[in-house]
Structure 1
Amino acid sequence: MLTAEDLEFLRRPLHGFLTVADGPVRPVWFEAADDGTIQLFTPEDSPKVRKVSGDPRASIIVAAPVGERERWISVAGRVTVEPDGAYELAARLAERYWDLEDPAHAGELAGIQTLELVRLLIHPEKVSRYSM
């Protein structure tokens, strides 16, 4: 469902805005995987995990930053909680979003890595997009 152009856009270091059923919108780091899923990491005891355990629907919207022509992609679908791969994902995303040569960011990543993390995978069922 995601096109090659979608994946290219989603692999940029942009923030996504995640909504889970019955929950608020949250900015998140994310990764578009080769299999077309959207994955993110979170502590296993987070409200996101509790909410998707009861109702596994979620969506993420990613928009181009200010200064670029308007473009956005919305991906909605069923979410699965995966116990493996979260630490590796957190490290990849930290490298993508932060300068890990900065001791403050390296320390933040080290702190994240001490948490009990899981991966959330959004399996696309509906993709909407707009580009000028």
Structure 2
Amino acid sequence: MKKTTRRNFLQTTALASVAVSTTEASEKMASKEIFVHHVYFWLKNPSSEADKAKLLEGLEALSKVPEIKMVHIGTPASTNRSVIERGYSVSWLLFFDNLEQEEIYQKHPIHLKFVADYSHLWEKVIVYDSVGTKRK
């Protein structure tokens, strides 16, 4: 039997506990379910910079809904491949902890006001909702 010192025992135990807790935390974070809500807007007047600016203004206000964990407001990138859809004017990408948080967002007064105040700007909206696990 190998003789161990108190110092070696404490160092080994401390390192092992850090490794275990780091691994557990990583696994919990990696397996966390998320809900993704991605909306594409086609403006009635796609060449109107004023209408686009107005919609962007509305989305900025809408991003204040507290249940939203992360938001990205975008416009079509300059990439050009046959599989890329670039006909939309603005995209609205949201991340929620779960479906329940997204449902709260849908009924939130800020969201309802956004729809009432800005829906006259768009002719078409497509929504893609998905669930999955959070990755790095």
TM-score by length of 2: 0.26
Higher relative contact order (CA 8 A, sep 6+): 2
More helix by share: 2
Question: Which structure shows the bigger proportion of residues in strand conformation?
Answer: 1
TM-score, scaled to structure 1: 0.27
- Work out which of the two has the higher radius of gyration on C-alpha atoms and give 1 or 2: 2
